[in-house]
């Protein structure tokens, strides 16, 4: 292995400890306890798991969370009414609407409605617009891309002047990650499903942020020796035995699954200079940065 492992679990814990200390200090000073409202529409298991991890993190760091589960068939009006109520509630400093929303809901309208000062996900058009513009700063940066850049900086990777390639152009990760890298003075290429010769584009990258949602897509020989590889992917794949057959879980009778990223880790770690594991890389950072954003929201609202 040539690559230095970037330990997202340890770095996220450091961020969480810093947030916890600052929260305790502000409460000791008589300032309000930071509060995060979480809105979960429907019963997607992955979304419910992420939201419950966010609530748990709030409790651990001394913040309040207000959970608002809504049925999958909630109307646009009901959801918008809830957002207006949360915007007006002084105990709520941050509002998080877990995505994706069911198809009948207008996500853009919902995100636009969140007060910019409470937009701890950084998904409102105002925050994203500021992220995209020179000389302007958003109040909040989307949590996963923020975590990716934080990991690069903690590892001591030079971003300014680097050739950075972002795989994927989602609103949640790829696009804001590209904007953030531009702000950090990298030269940025965004790779997507219509890109020609993706391996050739990646071979020129000093920094790769992989957020395309395809298990182990990035092969070792696509990576420039010494590059920093940040793997955002979380993909379930079957566990195989020595003969290549799926291993069955004795309790459930179903094939056993394991989590892998968008990068073939075993190959990439022999070529890259820095690499994040999956799990234990970007994943823990998303929640840590949400906690940092929620504290920041409370601080902005003190004024
Ligand atoms: N769905 C997947 N990632 C995220 C995230 O960071 N925030 C929200 N609100 N929804 C998500």
- Residues 177/231, Cβ–Cβ less than 8 Å: no
Which tens digits make up the pLDDT trace of 104-126? 999 999 999 999 999 999 999 99
Burial zone of 71 (CB within 10 Å; 0-12 exposed, 13-18 middle, 19+ buried): exposed
Q: Count other C-beta atoms under 10 Å from residue 235's C-beta.
A: 16
Q: What is the DSSP letter of 158?
A: -
Ligand 1, atom 8, lies closest to the CA of: 98
- Domain membership of residue 303 (yes or no) is no
Does the Cβ of 98 fall within 6 Å of ligand 1?
A: yes
Does the Cβ of 99 fall within 6 Å of ligand 1?
A: yes
Which tens digits make up the pLDDT trace of 261-297? 999 999 999 999 999 999 999 999 999 999 999 999 9
**Residue 175, pLDDT score:** 98
Ligand 1, atom 1, lies closest to the CA of: 99
Is 121 a catalytic site residue?
A: yes
Is 301 a catalytic site residue?
A: no
- Domain membership of residue 130 (yes or no) is no
Ligand 1, atom 11, lies closest to the CA of: 99
- Domain membership of residue 197 (yes or no) is yes
> Where residue 201 sits, what CATH number does that domain have?
3.40.50.720
**Predicted confidence band of residue 170 (pLDDT cuts 50, 70, 90):** very high
56 lies in the same domain as 149:
no
State the distance from the centre of ligand 1 to the C-alpha of 50, rounded, in angstroms: 8
- Closest atom of ligand 1 to CA, residue 96: 9
Instruction: At 185, list the tokens.
Output: 């003075």
In angstroms, the CA 107 to CA 37 distance is: 17
Is the pLDDT score of 147 beyond 80? yes
Q: Which residues span the domain enclosing 239?
A: 143-283
Task: Name the β-bridge partners of 36.
Answer: 65, 94
- Residues 80/110, Cβ–Cβ less than 8 Å: yes
Is the pLDDT score of 1 beyond 90? no
- Domain membership of residue 46 (yes or no) is yes
- Domain membership of residue 133 (yes or no) is no
- Domain membership of residue 88 (yes or no) is yes
pTM exceeds 0.85: yes
> To test ligand 1's pocket by mutation, which of 124, 172, 289 has the most ligand atoms within 8 angstroms of CB?
172
- Residues 187/209, Cβ–Cβ less than 8 Å: no
> Where residue 39 sits, what CATH number does that domain have?
3.40.50.10860
- Domain membership of residue 254 (yes or no) is yes
Q: Which of 98, 118, 231, 262 is catalytic?
A: 98
State the distance from the centre of ligand 1 to the C-alpha of 97, rounded, in angstroms: 8
103 lies in the same domain as 205:
no
- Residues 86/60, Cβ–Cβ less than 8 Å: no
Which tens digits make up the pLDDT trace of 217-241? 999 999 999 999 999 999 999 999 9
59 lies in the same domain as 112:
yes
Does the Cβ of 206 fall within 6 Å of ligand 1?
A: no
Overall domain count for the chain: 2
**Predicted confidence band of residue 303 (pLDDT cuts 50, 70, 90):** confident
In angstroms, the CA 264 to CA 236 distance is: 14
**Residue 247, pLDDT score:** 95
**Residue 20, pLDDT score:** 98
Which tens digits make up the pLDDT trace of 95-106? 999 999 999 999
């Amino acid at each position: 292995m040539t690559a230095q492992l970037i330990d997202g679990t340890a770095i996220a814990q450091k961020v969480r400890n810093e947030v916890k200390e600052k929260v305790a200090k502000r409460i000791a000073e008589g300032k309000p306890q930071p509060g995060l409202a979480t809105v979960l529409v429907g019963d997607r298991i992955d979304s419910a798991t992420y939201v419950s991890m966010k609530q748990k993190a709030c409790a651990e760091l001394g913040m309040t969370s207000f959970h608002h589960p809504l049925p999958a068939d909630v109307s646009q009006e009901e959801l918008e009414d809830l957002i207006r109520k949360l915007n007006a509630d002084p105990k709520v400093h941050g509002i998080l609407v877990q995505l994706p929303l069911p198809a009948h809901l207008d996500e853009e309208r919902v995100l636009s409605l969140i007060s910019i000062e409470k937009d701890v996900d950084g998904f409102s058009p105002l925050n994203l617009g500021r992220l995209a513009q020179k000389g302007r700063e958003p109040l909040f940066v989307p949590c996963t891309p923020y975590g990716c850049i934080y990991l690069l900086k903690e590892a001591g990777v030079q971003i300014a002047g680097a050739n950075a390639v972002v795989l994927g152009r989602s609103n949640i990760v790829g696009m804001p990650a590209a904007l953030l890298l531009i702000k950090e003075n990298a030269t940025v290429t965004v790779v997507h499903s219509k890109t020609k010769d993706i391996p050739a584009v990646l071979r020129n990258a000093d920094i790769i942020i992989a957020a395309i949602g395809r298990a182990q897509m990035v092969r070792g020989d696509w990576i420039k020796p010494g590059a920093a590889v940040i793997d955002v992917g979380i993909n379930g794949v079957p566990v195989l035995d020595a003969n290549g057959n799926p291993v069955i879980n004795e309790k459930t009778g179903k094939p056993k699954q394991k989590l892998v990223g968008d990068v073939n880790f075993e190959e990439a770690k022999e070529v890259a200079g820095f690499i994040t594991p999956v799990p234990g890389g970007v994943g823990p950072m998303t929640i840590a940065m949400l906690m940092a954003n929620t504290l920041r929201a409370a601080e902005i609202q003190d004024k």
